[in-house]
Amino acid sequence: MWTGNLSALLVGLSVLLTVRRCLSARSRRLPRSTERVLIIGASSGIGRTLAVEYARLGVHGVCVVGRRVEMLEEVVEECKSHAHSSLKKTEVLALAGDFAEVGDMVRVRNELQSRWGGIDTVVVAAGVSALRPLLDIVKDKPGDDGIQHLVDVSARATRGNFVGPLVAAATFIPLLESSSPHPSILLVNSLASAIPAPTRALYASTKAASLHLYQALAIEHPKIAFTQFLPSTVEGDFRASAVDGGAANVREADPNKHGLKRIPVARRCIQAIEHREKHVFMPWSMGPSHLIFWLWPAFVEWRASVKYRFTPPQRT
Ligand SMILES: NC(=O)c1ccc[n+]([C@@H]2O[C@H](COP(=O)([O-])OP(=O)(O)OC[C@H]3O[C@@H](n4cnc5c(N)ncnc54)[C@H](OP(=O)(O)O)[C@@H]3O)[C@@H](O)[C@H]2O)c1
């Protein structure tokens, strides 16, 4: 008898939660046809897929940013060809720029202000990889020159994974706050910033820096809904951007066979913005794994070593 009552209660509760979730969806208050979206790092990968998904949803405008002009032009065409036929066509704007360059981001901001009067959604998807054990990088140069070489490599990783998100935040937060009734920012971060992995010391630490930066900004700017998106490996060519020369010797299983697919990743990003989710692990099971890391670190460290096929060097 009581089990019947309990299941009725659970069903009722889940219906209630689903209705509540639907009613509080952002697109009910900010219709897609008025939403102005900026995607930084949209010439390839997750950012590019997101641009196409937003065009499919019929948003008012999508601005795609990256350094490779010809790739951005391709994205514009792809967005146009995927636009929803029965909806008003999305305006797709390609603005070339480097997100770690203040002048470039200010130019993008001014252009969006004059064309659209502002922005509602910012996705920071740009980033660079680094794939080698830290002290292997030092060995690229003889003697102590190797340490300076490591510092130079780490400056490139910091530029792509921390300075870029920093410049983007400082440039676009004021515009979001002044021009959108429901502003949102999503940072495409990485599982590596929450669960450390061997061969990813530089990557994980620079991504963790931007994770903490945006977590703190979320408290300083409560009017904006901040989402930290932490996926595990995703298909694509991200490893080609390795700032440490690691692309020549990728250790893990082929991301294009074993990684998350870009379309579900992009759709999960859009869903997270829709429901003002603060932290999203993908797959979701990595959320509990993050907790396990604090309770039983040796187990998670072992799993990470297996994934990246890492064996610690033997002592001589
Ligand atoms: N792929 C994965 O396995 C994976 C897993 C977890 C997290 N992530 C994160 O997901 C994000 C996107 O990765 P992805 O897989 O889509 O890789 P991707 O295909 O290499 O895309 C990276 C994008 O960032 C842009 N970019 C890089 N540096 C830039 C800069 N200085 N200024 C402006 N744009 C810049 C690139 O465009 P240009 O080269 O044209 O500038 C490109 O559009 C990254 O932040 C990464 O950390 C990736």
Is residue 29 included in any domain, yes or no? no
φ and ψ of 93, to 5 deg: -120, 130
Report pLDDT for 170. 98
Instruction: Tell me the CA–centroid distance for residue 235 and ligand 1, in Å.
Output: 12
* 57 pLDDT above the threshold of 90: yes
Which ranges in the chain belong to alpha helices (H)? 2-23, 26-29, 45-57, 69-82, 102-116, 134-138, 145-158, 164-179, 201-220, 255-258, 262-274, 286-295, 297-307
- Say how far apart CA 94 and CA 108 lie, in whole Å: 10
Beta pairing, strands 279-282 & 225-231: parallel
5-14, 169-178, 183-192: lowest mean pLDDT where? Answer: 5-14
Query: Does residue 314 belong to any structural domain of this protein?
Result: no
pLDDT band at residue 102 using 50, 70 and 90 as cut-offs: very high
What value does the mean pLDDT take over residues 82-108?
91
**SS3 sequence, 134-150?**
HHHHHCCCCCCHHHHHH
Mean pLDDT of 278-307: 95
pLDDT at position 83: 81
By most ligand atoms within 8 Å of CB, the mutation choice from 38, 39, 46, 108 for ligand 1 is: 46
Structure tokens at 239: 């490893």
Q: Is residue 3 part of a domain?
A: no
User: CA 264, CA 262: separation in Å to the nearest integer?
Assistant: 6
pLDDT in tens, 138-151: 999 999 999 999 99
pLDDT of residue 10: 65
Alpha helices in 189-239 (DSSP H): 201-220
313 found inside a domain: no
- Confidence bin at 19 (pLDDT 50/70/90): low
Question: What is the span of the domain harbouring residue 152?
Answer: 34-307
pLDDT at 248: 83
How many domains is the chain built from? 1
CA separation for the pair 229, 148 (Å, rounded): 33
Residue 165: give its domain's CATH number: 3.40.50.720
Q: Which residue among 39, 40, 43 has the greatest number of ligand 1 atoms within 8 angstroms of its CB, and so is best to mutate?
A: 43
Q: pTM for the full model?
A: 0.94
Predicted confidence at residue 15, as pLDDT, reads: 65
User: Measured from the CB, is residue 45 less than 6 Å from ligand 1?
Assistant: yes
Tens of pLDDT, residue by residue over 267-291, are 999 999 999 999 999 999 999 999 9
**How many Å from the N-terminal Cα to the C-terminal Cα in the chain?**
69
For ligand 1, what atom is nearest to the CA of residue 42? 43
Residue 231 has pLDDT above 90, yes or no: yes
CB 202 within 8 Å of CB 139:
no
Residue among 107, 234, 239, 265 whose CB has most ligand 1 atoms within 8 A, to mutate: 234
149 within a domain of the structure (yes/no): yes
The angle formed by the CA atoms of residues 177, 167 and 278, to the nearest 5 degrees, is 55
Residue whose C-alpha is closest to residue 71's, from 49, 100, 48: 48
The amino acid at 220: E
Kindly state if the Cβ of 210 falls inside 6 Å of ligand 1. Answer: no
Q: Ligand 1: which atom is nearest the Cα of residue 207?
A: 47
| Ligand 1 centroid to residue 270 C-alpha, Å | 17
pLDDT at position 312, please? Answer: 84
Confidence class for position 250, pLDDT limits 50, 70, 90:
confident
Residue nearest to atom 37 of ligand 1 (CA): 66
Helix (H, G, I), strand (E, B) or coil at 204: helix
40: in domain: yes
Does ligand 1 lie within 6 Å of residue 233's CB atom?
yes
Do the beta carbons of residue 188 and residue 124 sit within 8 Å?
yes
What pLDDT, on the 0 to 100 scale, is given for residue 21? 67
Query: Using CA atoms, how far apart are residues 21 and 128, in angstroms rounded to an integer?
Result: 35
pLDDT for residue 314: 78
How far, in Å, is the centroid of ligand 1 from the Cα of 126? 4
Residue 88 confidence class, pLDDT cut points 50, 70, 90: confident
195 domain residue, yes or no: yes
Distance (Å, whole) CA 77 – CA 133:
40
Pocket flag, ligand 1, residue 227 (CB < 6 Å) = no
- Residue 8 belongs to a domain: no
165 CB less than 6 Å from ligand 1? no
Does 190 contact ligand 1 (Cβ within 6 A)? yes
| Cα gap 58→262, rounded to integer Å | 20
- Whether the pLDDT of residue 11 is over 90: the answer is no
Order of strands, sheet of 61-66, starting from the edge strand that comes earlier in the sequence: 91-96, 61-66, 36-40, 121-124, 184-188, 225-231, 279-282
Q: How far is the CA of 171 from the centre of ligand 1 (A)?
A: 19
